[in-house]
Each structure stands twice: as C-alpha cells, then as structure tokens.
Amino acid sequence: MRLFRFFKAVGQEMKQVSWPGPKQTRHDTGTVIGISVLFAIFFAVVDWIVQYGLKFIA
C-alpha cells in the first residue's frame, strides 16, 4: 500500500515539473556536447604532454 502511495505522489510531482521546451533542450544539449569536446581536447593534450615527458625522462 505504501508503494502505491509513493508512485501516486511521484506522478503528482512529475505533473508539477516545468519541463524545458525543444529550443532549450537543443541549447542545453549543445552546451553539454561543446564542454565535453573541450574537456576531451584538454585531457588529450595533457596526456600527450605526460607521454612526451615520460619519454624524455626515460
């Protein structure tokens, strides 16, 4: 019985959520992809520097 009340409350809360529109979703998705690409480039450069440094030391 408690589980039923829980899911009923979840359904009520989901109706109150302010969902973003398609334009906002595209913007947010683009932002996430852009930041992910920047981090990937950053970590690739750091990895390259570390590899170069280790080859230089050895």
Specify the pLDDT at position 38: 99
Residue at 15 is within a domain: no
Residue at 10 is within a domain: no
Specify the pLDDT at position 1: 82
* Amino acid at position 34, single letter: G
Specify the pLDDT at position 47: 98
Contact predicate 26/18, CB 8 Å: no
Tens-digit pLDDT profile for residues 8-45: 999 999 999 999 999 999 999 999 999 999 999 999 99
Residue identified by tokens 């990895």 is 47
Residue at 44 is within a domain: yes
Q: How far is CA 40 from CA 29, 32, 37, 47, in A?
A: 16, 12, 5, 10
Specify the pLDDT at position 56: 85
pTM: 0.68
Is 58 a residue whose pLDDT tops 90? no
Q: State which residues form the domain around 40.
A: 21-58
Q: How many domains does the chain have?
A: 1
Residue identified by tokens 């979703």 is 25
